[in-house]
Amino acid sequence: RIALPLFLGGPVAAGGYALATQSQPDFASAYRLGLSMTGAYAVTFSLKRIIRRPRPYAAGLVTRRDGLADTESRALTLDDRTAMPSGHATLAAAMATSWSLSHPRWYVITPAAVWATSTSLSRVHLGVHYVSDVAVGTAIGSGMAVLIHLLGDAITPTVFDANQGIDRPAVQVTMPLNY
């Protein structure tokens, strides 16, 4: 229940920090984070409508452990009824990967990886996803973040670019790991 505020608040907090510090690299990081998460969720949203795989509890394979009844009074959306791919795993992986690529330090990468992994595994434990659902969601989220960061300067508006006016290739891949 804490994941949704983090998913929505992550890019907003990153953008707010960049705005407060007026840091162009932080603006670029926040922009890429938002773009990674939006792109990853768009792919997941589309695949859910194509695949329409029922959740494990709906198939009678497990008992739902998240405290919610299948017949809860709220209206169930298609996202609530379909399992493949996991939206939580997608967004957690996109956020963790994007932020880790923007800030390649162990103290960013380690907690991000632990959080994303815990979020994904909790979905299986709660009986709302199969392992394959979270694996595919993780691949989509991580893949989208890597793609956005590989494209980097080519898709980041110059207003967010700290290297504005410097000649450089359209696509530049660098990821130094500083400890």
The neighbouring-strand residues paired with 54 are 82
Q: Is residue 176 part of a domain?
A: no
What's the rounded Cα separation, in Å, for the pair 130 and 82?
11
What average pLDDT does range 133-140 have in this prediction? 94
Q: Is residue 84 part of a domain?
A: yes
Q: What is the pLDDT of residues 53-89, one digit of tens each?
A: 888 777 666 665 555 555 443 334 445 677 789 888 9
Give how many domains the chain has, as a whole number: 1
Q: Is residue 175 part of a domain?
A: no
Given a cut of 80, is residue 2 above it in pLDDT? no
Sequence-separated (6 or more) residues with CB below 8 Å from residue 71:
none
Question: Do the Cβ atoms of 119 and 88 come closer than 8 Å?
Answer: yes
What average pLDDT does range 125-152 have in this prediction? 90
Q: Look up the domain containing 135 and give its range.
A: 3-65+78-160
Q: Is residue 94 part of a domain?
A: yes
What average pLDDT does range 8-23 have in this prediction? 80
Sequence-separated (6 or more) residues with CB below 8 Å from residue 173:
150, 152
Separation in Å, CA 83 to CA 58, 107, 116, 139: 10, 32, 18, 15
Q: What is the pLDDT of residues 82-130, one digit of tens each?
A: 778 988 899 999 999 998 998 888 998 999 999 999 988 988 888 888 8
Location of structure tokens 């815990």: 118
Pick from 99, 95, 103, 101: which is nearest to 138 by CA? 95
Separation in Å, CA 75 to CA 4, 42, 167: 18, 22, 53
Q: Is residue 171 part of a domain?
A: no
Q: Is residue 72 part of a domain?
A: no
Q: Is residue 173 part of a domain?
A: no
Q: Is residue 168 part of a domain?
A: no
In the numeric block, which tokens belong to residue 179?
């400890």
